[in-house]
A and B are shown apart, each in its own frame.
Chain A
């Protein structure tokens, strides 16, 4: 009798272990392992829907255009992903981008510094700014939100103090700084140097995150800094490097920005901080750190571009476009929460 009971207990335990996953749970698990799949699905559905409302949507010329339109947000979002992976957030990316673009434009356009030098100094300024953010977060231990909120004001003020709010336009900037707007054909597509640069940034950073020890450390610091420290990762150095790399990426986006606007102007970009965070969130990277992929962010940025452009082609009012993007963000975060639950229960 007792044997029977024991064996039936075993079967129950085994049955519990082997209980087949429901189809929904299976989807949940796949999404958990590959966070970039959900933005991809949204992207494909959006593409079909928008093509339905305007048959020009999927023309190569329009797709090229969308890539150009998302290049700046895409570039910023790469750096933002890195910071968010460490469970931080960078509210200063937009202001820093404007500041660096003003440094580059001011030096080349008004101070007569050769373009490549102005560019190099701009990159240096981006790295230095990232270092300051990094020191405040890693050494002084200020929360990233507060640090970068403060730096947002600092960079904005510096850009204005340097230029008195004047912009530097077109011809004055020289060929080098506006080179990112040069376009070239790739098959039926028409890309710009700026778009190519952004894609290169994603490839390089994606490689560093997935294939190097540094990348593993970034994820480790983001998911559990305590555990990372105990297993020998220097969290301070990882954080410092993350903010410096983000600063350099922001400086590169400033170059893309100058090309796209054909001007260095303090009024070039509004709300880009939030837009960069939007791309990261829609791309499936968790705002709590440690989980996400760069490819997801790229798809997230393109998704936002698809919605803006697709709704425009469908002649939808700009306010409804903003509304749609808002709903998209909430849907993305809700999906993220749902996916995370599988990590907790299984």
Chain B
């Protein structure tokens, strides 16, 4: 059986973990797995070509972490040619375009670090820096994490699918808040650092830093260090080994851990079950995808919140 896995970019540890998870499962099930990807997190044309090429060489199934609805037509054509398509990490829009989706809930991931932050502040005023992913495009993972975080803090949202339209100040679950800045990092260390520097020049009293992913969080920590700000709580999302080390050292207060390897492996298992036994995968009850789970990783537990320690986080990191 021939299966192609198409990720968003070829080299990010997150996607490498997903590919490795899929490779392991493929070996066990005697599946021939080919790897393709876009050039970066937004390259739709590269993904379209990968879908077309997999279809052209007669693959049985495609697993894709799609870069947006521009790939939908290519997916439909592949399906018309008899290819079984499932989504990994990012649901397609609409989600029922593909036969199954294995993903973690990004909004939920944002929510748990938001709840942790609110609990940790214990009623003190929150001056918040929001370090998002992109300023030049709208990507679901970006607003789901950001808006999930704010919702977790207990801040009233306006449009839950839009960054930056909430009230700049008001009440969160336990006290007053003010949003000092809303900056894009492109999900990279240098972008995170530049964004945080800008935030600190806007407001040196920032004590809460939400970052959309770990590389931008590492950059933000550098900027905080350089500015002598030791009080800010930095929270982030991903759960890579490098990221969890940040929790171990105390640079990050909390990290929401995701399991890309599990997504890749579950995807291969679903393909095998369908292709060999005709068993269709079912989504989780009440969701349009199968949740591969997240865990709150922190060494500063907050009452009423389930979390794992950084040591436990290190055991499952990628």
Contacts and interface: CB of A to CB of B under 8 A. Distances in A.
B32 interface: yes
A74 B35 CA distance: 26
Interface stretch (B37-45, B212-220, B235-243, B268-276): B37-45
Interface residues of A, number: 37
A72 interface: yes
Contact of A65 (B38, B43, B52): B52
Contacts of B80: none
Interface residues of B, number: 35
Contact of A160 (B67, B69, B136): B136
Contacts of A223: none
Interface of A: 54, 56, 59, 61-62, 65, 68-69, 72, 156, 160, 164-167, 169-170, 181, 260-263, 265-271, 308-309, 312-313, 315, 317-319
Contacts, number: 102
A266 B134 CA distance: 12
Contact of B70 (A164, A268, A317): A268
A61 B56 contact: yes
B43 A267 contact: yes
24 contacts: A160-B135, A164-B138, A165-B134, A165-B138, A167-B68, A167-B70, A167-B137, A170-B72, A170-B73, A181-B73, A260-B45, A261-B45, A265-B44, A265-B68, A265-B70, A267-B43, A270-B43, A309-B53, A312-B34, A312-B36, A312-B49, A313-B53, A315-B57, A319-B10
The residue in A69, A269, A318 that gathers the most chain B C-beta atoms within 10 A of its C-beta is A318
Contacts of A261: 44-45, 48, 70, 73
B48 A260 contact: yes
Nearest to B43: A270
B53 A267 contact: no
A166 B69 contact: no
B58 interface: yes
B16 to A, nearest CB: 11
A318 B138 contact: no
B69 A268 contact: no
Interface of B: 10-11, 32, 34-40, 42-46, 48-50, 52-54, 56-58, 67-70, 72-73, 134-138
A61 B57 CA distance: 11
B56 A72 contact: no
A315 B34 contact: yes
A308 B49 contact: yes
A69 B44 contact: no
Given A260-B45, A267-B67, A270-B45, A318 B53 contact: no
